[in-house]
Amino acid sequence: MTDVLSRIVAHKKEEIAGQRREMPESSYLRELAPSDRDFKAALQQEGPAFILECKMASPSRGLLRPDFDLDQIAAVYGRHADAISVLTDNTFFGGHSTHLSHIRARVRQPLLNKDFFIDPYQVYRARYHGADAILLMLSILDDARYRELAALAHELNMDVLTEAHTEEEVQRALKLQADILGINNRNLKDLSIDRDTTRRLAPKADSSRVIVSESGFYTRRDVRDLKDKAGAFLVGSALMAESDLEAAVKRLIYGEVKICGLTRPEDARAAHEAGALYGGMIFAPRSARCLSEETARTLRSSASLNWVAVFADQDAAEVARLARVLDLHAVQLHGRESAEYITNLRALLPPECEIWRALPVDGDIPPPPPREVDRIVLDSAGAAGFGGSGHTFDWRLIEHRPQKRPLMLAGGLTPENIQQALDLPVSGFDLSSGVESAPGIKDRRKIEKLFNIIRRH
């Protein structure tokens, strides 16, 4: 056992003794009902499953989330998680058992209680506060104690996530008939993270086990890189450290998706609820989806998206004014704007407002835009600079082209072809006509279908 674990376990024994004095098992055992939420089943649906974690701090990174608002966390996780992990260790992670009951009352997902389980008392306490599964770490348990705790959990209809970090621990887990195997990518000796731990250890287990890869995931691409090795992913610190929790969750599960050409508040809300990170509004006069400033203001306030406005060869001062008035995340240029124009625009924009540049692809990838451009949007040449054409370009052109700047794929994307685009080396996807029933009128069913395909593949 490492020094960090030794300290935690030693303190845990003292903590349990104190909890037992304050609230002995005899005071609530008769009230315990078996779990009625199936943790294992939540991890076995098609595509990767996501266990999203609540924790205030960690030994490796200290305080992660000063504003630890459980209601806000429950609202976000309730919209996107397959299961929710609640860390209840207080001294080292800032947790508490009551966090379980608080979260449970606000979500429908099964709850995993993550703690350093060494005593049967903790299993009873976990179920009392609403846990549907517990984490058992082979690094701190011998086989006899593991069997005792696992048997008690199963008596309460709770699942067990058995955590291993080494090949020896994986072999122990298999002999102990662990049906949900968690592979921790964090080295508990030095607290470093290596996702190759899952790549190396997962093949040691047979296909009947549910494999959960733990730690080190930030983006959808991180998950896709290991989707053939693990069926579920547990993510905590990477999310808790982000001030915009929902944006972080969307990047992890769906990647960076923009629904562009929005004209109606109900469509903006549908995009936000489905998983979109960005919402696009168009000010290019020749577009069928062009908005007035008044309509844009209404649209802007209808959904908590990162808003991007599309312009084409328009006055830089006016572009900058609208960026300030609408508090835009980015302006997206779809015309023939020169390098000089872009440099001047950068000076006029608020510092936090990004510049995205749409480049038409016709036979080859155009040269990179000026350095002031934060993100590149590759669109089909037939899009006339305005998007929403419904045409794709040859995606093979970007298959082996690593990009120094974030790259968005646009042009002709639909729920029917998005799966073929998911492995391309891009940061995200920009859709408009592919999720519409008419120009500027989005189809909620198409939007939901799109994000379900992205999530499950």
132 as an active site residue: the answer is no
Distance, CA of 44 to CA of 3 (rounded, Å): 35
Q: Is 206 assigned a catalytic role?
A: no
Catalytic pick among 260, 267, 290, 430: 260
Residue type, 208: S
Check if the beta carbon of residue 93 is closer than 8 Å to that of residue 87: yes
Would you state the torsion angle of the CA atoms of residues 107, 108, 110, 116, taken in this order, to the nearest 10 degrees? 10
Determine the 3-state secondary structure of 53 from DSSP.
strand
Strand, coil or helix: 212? strand
User: H or E segment at 61?
Assistant: none
Indicate which residue of 82, 119, 159, 379 is catalytic.
379
Let me know: does 358 contact 379? Beta carbons within 8 Å.
yes
- Cα Rg for the chain, rounded, in angstroms? 25
Measure the CA angle with vertex 108, ends 105 and 112; round to 5°.
85
Q: Can you give 309-321 as a three-state secondary structure string?
A: EEECCCCHHHHHH
Q: How many CA atoms lie within 13 A of 75 on its CB side?
A: 9
Q: What residue spans of 23-166 are helical by DSSP H?
A: 39-42, 70-80, 98-104, 120-128, 143-155
CA dist 330 and 349 (Å) reads 10
Q: Which residues are catalytic?
A: 260, 379
